[in-house]
Amino acid sequence: SSLQVGILDVDLCGPSIPRMFRVQDNDVHQCDSGWVPVFVDQDKSISLMSIGFLLERPDDAVVWRGPKKNALIKQFVADVAWGDLDFLIVDTPPGTSDEHISTVEALRPYKPLGAILVTTPQAVSVGDVRRELTFCKKTGLRVLGIVENMSGFVCPHCSECTNIFSKGGGEELAKHAGVPFLGCVPLDPQLSQSLEEGRDFIQEFPKSSAFPALAHITQQILDGTSQQSS
Ligand SMILES: Nc1ncnc2c1ncn2[C@@H]1O[C@H](COP(=O)(O)OP(=O)(O)OP(=O)(O)O)[C@@H](O)[C@H]1O
Ligand SMILES: [Mg+2]
Ligand SMILES: [Zn+2]
């Protein structure tokens, strides 16, 4: 029972998703219905679009002004041959800037399910997410929930958990804001290795500490959105 999932990387200045899937050397092509996204798996169940596929040097976008970013993000939503998707996941850079405003506007006609906010346990990051919560409220975007990433480190030798960046900031913020807390993801060397090398985390590291955490969060999201989309 595989779902069709599109991933749209709107981190125009630092597109990292192509590398995480080890498809950074792919090109996108034009067809009648627009740009063809890059499929990252053999089953063609995950398709990806990123500025990383379009620019010679992705750093070029660092100097772009708002209108240019806005135009590209609109194209990424409307002019990509996404096909029939069950979900479109949009990864934004941190913050509440041009990319976020453009994304919300471009997606509005499609009635997006909502936003997932990711924080680390420290106060600074929690502050960023607090501003992102305000952004969602002002733009009328539902908050599906908050995830606390880098929450504790499980020692691979003795399995003891150390809270390197403290713990609980994300859950506290969720409670305070009255939005769901989706779960914690521990710091996991196998996860970072997997992302660095573009390996298939689910296939290769089912025993790692981040695996059950990510599975739990995914289920929470699916549970929370199934009532809404059906
Ligand atoms: N739970 C984790 N365990 C181990 N490494 C992680 C974990 N979460 C993230 N990382 C590593 O840190 C890097 C940056 O994390 P992430 O992509 O989540 O950051 P970000 O907030 O999206 O920042 P940006 O998009 O600005 O780079 C990842 O590429 C990954 O290698
Ligand atoms: Mg990112
Ligand atoms: Zn130990």
Q: Divide the 230 residues of the chain into consecutive groups of 10 and give the mean pLDDT of each group.
A: 92 91 92 93 94 82 88 96 96 94 96 95 83 96 96 84 82 94 94 94 93 96 78
Q: What is the pLDDT of residue 58?
A: 67
Q: Is the CB of 185 under 6 A from ligand 1?
A: yes
> What is the tens place of the pLDDT at every residue in 91-110?
999 999 999 999 999 999 99
Topology classification of domain 1-112: Rossmann fold (3.40.50)
Topology classification of domain 115-230: Rossmann fold (3.40.50)
Q: Which two tokens stand for residue 44?
A: 């063609």
Q: Is the CB of 191 under 6 A from ligand 1?
A: yes
Ligand positioned closest to the Cα atom of 161: 3
Please give the model's pTM, rounded to 2 decimal places. Answer: 0.92
Helix pair angle (123-139, 98-107), 10° resolution: 40
Q: What is the DSSP letter of 141?
A: -
Q: Is the CB of 92 under 6 A from ligand 1?
A: no
Ligand positioned closest to the Cα atom of 205: 1
Q: What is the pLDDT of residue 164?
A: 77
How far, in Å, is the centroid of ligand 1 from the Cα of 118? Answer: 10
Domain boundaries, the chain: 1-112, 115-230
Ligand positioned closest to the Cα atom of 154: 3
Q: Is the CB of 91 under 6 A from ligand 1?
A: no
How far, in Å, is the centroid of ligand 1 from the Cα of 98? Answer: 21
How far, in Å, is the centroid of ligand 1 from the Cα of 102? Answer: 23
Instruction: Name which of 123, 125, 131 is nearest 115 in CA terms.
Output: 131
> What is the tens place of the pLDDT at every residue in 32-69?
889 999 999 989 999 999 999 988 876 777 788 999 99
Q: What is the pLDDT of residue 222?
A: 94
Q: What is the pLDDT of residue 53?
A: 92
E-strand ranges in 86-226 read: 87-91, 115-119, 143-154, 161-162, 181-187
Which residues are CB-contacts of 170 (< 8 A; sequence separation ≥ 6)?
Answer: 119, 120, 121, 126, 129, 146, 147, 148, 151, 181, 184
Cβ distance 67 to 99 under 8 Å? Answer: no
Q: Is the CB of 14 under 6 A from ligand 1?
A: yes
Sign of CA dihedral 227, 169, 176, 100: negative
Q: Is the CB of 188 under 6 A from ligand 1?
A: yes
Phi-psi region of 16 (alpha: psi -120 to 50; beta: other; left: phi over 0): alpha
